[in-house]
Amino acid sequence: MKRPYKFWILLLAAFCLATGAAIFTANSNSNLLAIIFNRQALIQRFAQTGKDSVGFFLLAHVAANAVGIPGTLLVIVGGSLYGLWWGALWSAVGATMGAVAAFGMARYFLHDWFAARFHHRPLMKKLNRTLQNNGLGCVLIVRFSPISPFNVVNFAFGLTPVPLRLYIFGTFIGILPGTLAYTWLGVSGADALSGGSLLPLGCCLTVLMLLSALPFLTQRHRSS
């Protein structure tokens, strides 16, 4: 069977991710995982890339999302590196790119297998009808909650009939509030560690808690 052109795009993306990871960790005494899960190591490593740091930052987001590594630490690092607005923008772009990569892998490698085994079940039929009628709204609701399992959702949406264009738009818009909050955490945390005021950090943590509770409060309001 002839492979669709999107398969080769995904294959090329995987090659680029592997190449980027190799370049990113070249001449480093730390292994890749040690860098990924260490905030200070990430900041130092991105700083060493100089003017190319934004490109590597986006690539790191794509790689993390594609292989299922939580990208929250990268968002916080983005705030420390680029400030609130630029850090949030690059994180939102990078996270969306990574989400699309994971979505694409699930859609083009697992969707047919999953559909053949589960889409005939009543629950899946109901879910698919909901997604077909209001796919964008569903993506926005899931993305708006900063505590939703971002990486799991990326692959899960690839198994559904949600169109790619709606998924991209809904993901980018839906993650903006949480991305801004976590980027602000990086900015305020860096200021606090350097001897600045703790008030912005406290405000940021409060906003994160409110965002996390908002979906539950909304659901409770609808059911009452």
Please give the pLDDT value at position 202: 65
- What is the residue extent of each domain of the chain? 5-223
Q: What is the dihedral of CA 134, 139, 144, 147, to 10 degrees?
A: 130
| Measured distance CA(62)–CA(95) in Å, rounded | 6
Can you give the pTM of this predicted structure? 0.70
| Measured distance CA(192)–CA(183) in Å, rounded | 14
Please give the pLDDT value at position 51: 72
Tens-digit pLDDT profile for the chain (224 aa)? 344 545 555 555 555 555 455 544 444 444 444 444 445 666 676 667 667 778 888 888 888 877 777 777 788 888 878 888 998 999 999 999 988 988 988 888 888 888 888 877 888 888 888 888 888 888 888 887 766 778 888 888 988 889 899 999 999 999 998 888 888 777 776 655 555 555 666 666 666 666 666 655 555 555 55
| Measured distance CA(184)–CA(75) in Å, rounded | 9
